[in-house]
Amino acid sequence: MLEVEELHAYYGKSHVLQGVTLQVGTGEIVGLLGRNGVGRSTLAKAIMGDVDAKGSIRFLGKQVETLKPHQIARLGIGYVPECRDIFATLTVRQNLELGLKSGRTAGRWTVAGMLDMFPNLARRAEVPAGVLSGGEQQMLTMCRSLLGDPALIMIDEPTEGLAPKVVEQVGELLREIAAKGVSILLIEQKLSIALKVCSRLYVMGHGRIVFEGTPGSLQSRADIRKEWLEV
Ligand SMILES: Nc1ncnc2c1ncn2[C@@H]1O[C@H](COP(=O)(O)OP(=O)(O)O)[C@@H](O)[C@H]1O
Ligand SMILES: [Mg+2]
């Protein structure tokens, strides 16, 4: 579904992506792990067309590397950035409604359906989103993205700063999203959640992929974890 090949990106003279190759298949949850600053968010932004990059990006059989961000979004790629950019003064419901694509027939997700699925959000549908907890804000940004009906969603460090119990809830939500047929590229630093929910994992180090394999194979590679993941 998503095939990235030999992708390079620069910020000025700094060579941030140094030939990244990665694939996400239909309905898969794929993890992209790595320490802070290795280039994971830059890769997501390059796929969205928000950062200039050289190389090949194919999505649903189409070359998309020359398309504009709004065209890429319309083809069905969603990105949930690290900063949970909710609109604090708008209500939860209004935030969700902003995710609906105008001029598009109803997708697999609706605002009412979302609120049914998430009683926590439903209870607070009419309150300003700014009063939600970190975990609830994370759920809200993911739900808002899904309302745009993406076929693939890239979620950037969704568990950052969340309590362990909330991290588990986010993990459950990721599984529910994938069960609805949406592919997920999960960008994480936490190995624990990635090992639990992902079918395949990539580890990035200094702008390149340094490991690719199943959670089981990463568990048996203490050398990779020590060099590229543990802090
Ligand atoms: N807008 C930017 N301008 C210049 N350098 C940046 C910018 N964004 C990120 N960087 C740098 O690029 C590198 C990769 O960053 P990033 O993709 O955000 O890493 P990650 O998401 O893996 O933590 C880091 O060294 C970071 O400081
Ligand atoms: Mg990042």
Answer for the pair 178, 209: CB distance below 8 angstroms, yes or no: no
Give the C-alpha separation, 193 to 176, whole Å: 15
pLDDT recorded at residue 105: 62
Pocket residue to mutate for ligand 1, from 13, 16, 52, 185, most atoms within 8 A of Cβ: 16
Give the C-alpha separation, 218 to 98, whole Å: 39
* C-alpha of residue 118 to centroid of ligand 1, in Å: 33
pLDDT recorded at residue 54: 97
Which residue owns the Cα nearest ligand 1 atom 27? 37
Tokens 């290795």 found at: 38
Which residue owns the Cα nearest ligand 1 atom 11? 37
Residue 114: Cβ within 10 Å count: 23
Q: Alpha-carbon Rg of the chain, whole angstroms?
A: 17
pLDDT recorded at residue 83: 85
* C-alpha of residue 14 to centroid of ligand 1, in Å: 9
- Give, for all 231 residues of the chain, the pLDDT tens digit: 999 999 999 999 999 999 999 999 999 999 999 999 999 999 999 999 999 999 999 999 999 999 999 999 999 999 999 988 899 999 999 999 998 876 566 678 889 988 988 888 899 999 999 999 988 899 899 999 999 999 999 999 999 988 898 899 899 989 999 999 999 999 999 899 999 999 999 999 999 999 999 999 999 999 999 999 987
Give, for 43, the enclosing helix (H) or strand (E): helix 40-47
* C-alpha of residue 38 to centroid of ligand 1, in Å: 7
**121, 119, 111: which is closest to 149 by C-alpha?**
111
For the record, the structure tokens of 121 come out as 């959000």
Angle at 76 between CA 42 and CA 111, to 5 degrees: 110
Domain CATH for 18: 3.40.50.300
What domain count does the chain have? Answer: 1
Which pTM was predicted? Answer: 0.94
Query: Residue 138's domain spans which residues?
Result: 2-228
